[in-house]
Structure 1
Amino acid sequence: MDRTQQAAALPGARALAPQLDALTGLRGLAAWYVVLFHTRVTLKATVGPMVYGFLSHGYLAVDLFFILSGFVLWHSCADNPAYRGARGMARFWLRRIARIWPLHMVLLGGFVALVGMLAATGRDIAFYRWGELPLHVLLMQNWGMTIGLMWNEPAWSISCEWAAYLLFPFTVMAAPWRNWSTGALVLLGCGLLAGLWAYFALHGSDDYLGFEIQRTGLMRCLLEFWTGNVLRMLWARWRDVPDICTGAWAAMIALLEGGVVLHLPEASYVPGVFAALILALSLEDRTPARLLRSGPLHWLGEISYSTYLSHFLLFIVFKMLFVGPDLTVGLGKLGLFLMIVLAASAALYRLVEKPAQRWLLRRGEARLAA
């Protein structure tokens, strides 16, 4: 059964248009950018300053995730009658929680076990606040109720996305979006990106989107997620219009070059670069999109959630076992770690993520049908 047939077999599901498969490969590359970002300090003595500088910006891949998630979710769910009404909203939330929560709990359990072992051997575990653990279980740890990132730190973005998912049905119902003109949607998208810049400027750090994540991460996610929603609305109107794809590539290059050359604040141009990139890839059928749709890259995208959530715990354990006090990792050890992450991602996807998702959906759909 291919992916289109699988999608059709699910109540209310909608397969991605073939050209949108490139976005799955893009998600896979973004997940590995985050992995390399979290290994960068141990590589500082090994790689040159240019490579280290590139790796140091890996946190920006999360902004790509947020916009991409908003785009794909609007495509899959916004016009779907299976998600209308009270029961439809419950079905939507069921599918979202079945997608993100089981693997999150497995990795959180891994951290609890690790911290327990550290405590048993007399290590300092003061950093891990047990009182905040219930917020992590409920995926509310980055809703402004904690003082910092802890436990499985990358899961902060999943917490924020869960908030976006909870709001999504109300976003769909908030306005008659189909009646909005294309110009109005463009202005709305630009307004959301400008609002993100203003939000970070007001918080005193528009040049660093990773600033005080526990305080700014939620709004960062929501504004970028909603930008992705608007981007998908525009895609529906532009997908058959000649030269829009070329314009999107040109806009991406202009924003990126202008931002770098003029040393503009991150918040003023990076999300716009990602929005233009997603639009360009979703509209074209040339080499970049074809590469991202290829088997290996598409597979990396399929297992990217497991990669993103598991690598942080794996790296902590890897450093404890293989890295000395100087915290230096050579390219050989880096290669070993990346292979471990890849193998673990594939195993978690196959043995945890998908089976748990199917189990929760079966039970949840049965309750909804009762």
Structure 2
Amino acid sequence: MTTRRELAALTSVRGIAAWAVVLYHIRLSADWLPNGLVSMLAKGYLAVDFFFLLSGFVIWMTWADRLRSRGLAELPAFLQKRVARIWPLHAVVLAGGVALALLLAATGRHDAREFPFAELPLHLLLIQNWGFTDALAWNDPAWSISAELGAYLLFPLLALAIDWRRMPAWAVISAIAAGGVLLASIFAAAGAPTLGHEIARLGLIRCVIEFAMGTAVAALWLRWRDRPVLPALSATAVLTLLGTMTITGLIPEALGVPLAFAALLLALALTSGMRGNPLEGRALHYLGEISYATYLGHFLLWFAFKLAFVDDAHAVPPTLTALYLLLVLGSSIALYHLIERPAQRAINAIRLRRPRPA
């Protein structure tokens, strides 16, 4: 079930998605941007939905068979690697947020809505988006990491309960479609018109459902990877249809976007490694490798950058915007090489006592 071959195109797209989130957060501060471009960047929050699907895809390929074959004996290693992947960098960035909040408090500028110290333990434990809070705070993008942790904890149950390999392709596709319908129904019942609404309340279920859809996409890729052309063309056609229907308002965003991204993910995976693939260039691939640092570090950096250099937060000139984007790139490189990777290696080097196989 596992595969050693990296799907380089997916790594590159992860980098593109991370920068879409960066541009989403700064779009309203660049009053010199054309209105049409600002409207397009306003949908950058949807990149998070692609992250959730991609995460389910990768985790299924790597861990589903191992958990099924080895049972509880493999659970400590799974959790260890997941914590090593997401928590150390989160803790460092959160510590930066605490330092920033203390500095603001010392100068009489502390905003309790942005930096509520009473909620800090929840953020440290990455459970802030499990229904314990009413709004995003501290490092806003970390809400999705909190939701990811919830999906990781549920994943062993999914892996033990469902073996996509034993299902016909039509059943797997139907399960993906059912996930999209379920998510759209939940958002409709909650009165949330887009996937970006009610994040504190709906973010966890949004992540879990899309994560599960991603596991099914992985099963389709494993089934079709040796004969990828026709499935890739079919996935592209589905992507085009769903994208058009979503943009024109024929179907709600909460239905169209997850299903369109599932088709996109499948098409990207099937075409990864093909000659001339533009997503497999070295520079783009590197942006994907440092994308977690980009995603997690840019928000508080923007907050601090505006405090230090910006007079009008709604009119940041192009030169300062370019400077900020360069700082995001530089900080991403530093965080990746100095914090993220060394911390992963250190935590993964710890030898855990494993239970006997069930």
In the alignment, what sits opposite 2:224? 238
In the alignment, what sits opposite 1:360? 347
In the alignment, what sits opposite 1:142? 129
CA distance in 2, matches of 1:275, 1:50: 26
CA distance in 2, matches of 1:326, 1:26: 30
In the alignment, what sits opposite 1:321? 308
- Secondary structure class of the residue paired with 1:84: helix
CA distance in 1, matches of 2:352, 2:39: 51
Aligned length: 354
The reply to whether residue 103 of structure 1 matches residue 95 of structure 2 is: no
Amino acid corresponding to residue 340 of structure 2 in structure 1: E
CA distance in 2, matches of 1:53, 1:148: 24
Residue 290 of structure 1, CA deviation = 1.9
In the alignment, what sits opposite 1:89? 75
In the alignment, what sits opposite 2:117? 130
Cα 1:285–1:302 change in 2 (3 A) is closer
* CA deviation vs aligned residue, 1:259-282 (integer Å, no higher than 9, x gap): 212453211201111111111111
22-31 or 68-77, larger mean C-alpha shift: 68-77
Cα 1:188–1:14 change in 2 (3 A) is closer
CA distance in 2, matches of 1:289, 1:367: 46
CA distance in 2, matches of 1:320, 1:48: 25
In the alignment, what sits opposite 2:5? 17
Residue 182 of structure 1, CA deviation = 1.4
- Secondary structure class of the residue paired with 1:153: coil
Partners of 2:76 and 2:352 within 8 A in 1: no
- Secondary structure class of the residue paired with 1:46: coil
Amino acid corresponding to residue 116 of structure 1 in structure 2: L
CA distance in 1, matches of 2:129, 2:261: 23
Cα 1:121–1:200 change in 2 (3 A) is same
The reply to whether residue 179 of structure 1 matches residue 169 of structure 2 is: no
CA distance in 1, matches of 2:252, 2:164: 31
Cα 1:82–1:96 change in 2 (3 A) is farther
**Quick one: which of 13, 27, 41 aligns to 1:55?**
41
- Secondary structure class of the residue paired with 2:142: helix
* CA deviation vs aligned residue, 1:120-164 (integer Å, no higher than 9, x gap): 111132212212111111110000011110001100000000000
In the alignment, what sits opposite 1:298? 285
- Secondary structure class of the residue paired with 2:65: coil
Partners of 2:67 and 2:156 within 8 A in 1: no
Amino acid corresponding to residue 235 of structure 2 in structure 1: A
Kindly, what percent of the aligned residue pairs are identical? 45
TM-score, normalization: structure 2? 0.94
* CA deviation vs aligned residue, 1:315-358 (integer Å, no higher than 9, x gap): 01110111113531122111111110000000000000011111
28-37 or 177-186, larger mean C-alpha shift: 177-186
Residue 87 of structure 1, CA deviation = 2.7
In the alignment, what sits opposite 1:74? 60
Cα 1:286–1:306 change in 2 (3 A) is closer
Residue 78 of structure 1, CA deviation = 1.2
RMSD: 2.0
Amino acid corresponding to residue 311 of structure 2 in structure 1: G
177-186 or 32-41, larger mean C-alpha shift: 177-186
- Secondary structure class of the residue paired with 1:79: helix
In the alignment, what sits opposite 1:197? 184
- Secondary structure class of the residue paired with 1:352: helix
CA distance in 2, matches of 1:144, 1:295: 40
Residue 288 of structure 1, CA deviation = 9.8
Partners of 2:49 and 2:207 within 8 A in 1: yes
Alignment of 1:193-342 (within 5 A): 193-205=180-192, 207-241=193-227, 242-285=229-272, 290-342=277-329
Amino acid corresponding to residue 17 of structure 1 in structure 2: R
* CA deviation vs aligned residue, 1:266-321 (integer Å, no higher than 9, x gap): 11201111111111111115889822121011100000000000000110111011
Partners of 1:83 and 1:91 within 8 A in 2: no
Residue 48 of structure 1, CA deviation = 0.7
Amino acid corresponding to residue 271 of structure 1 in structure 2: P
The reply to whether residue 113 of structure 1 matches residue 94 of structure 2 is: no
Cα 1:58–1:25 change in 2 (3 A) is same
CA distance in 2, matches of 1:369, 1:172: 18
CA distance in 2, matches of 1:264, 1:279: 21
**Quick one: which of 176, 188, 208 aligns to 2:175?**
188
Cα 1:266–1:288 change in 2 (3 A) is farther
CA distance in 1, matches of 2:179, 2:134: 27
Amino acid corresponding to residue 290 of structure 1 in structure 2: N
CA distance in 1, matches of 2:139, 2:194: 22
Amino acid corresponding to residue 105 of structure 1 in structure 2: A
- Which consecutive residues of structure 2, in runs of 5 or more, have no partner in the other structure? none
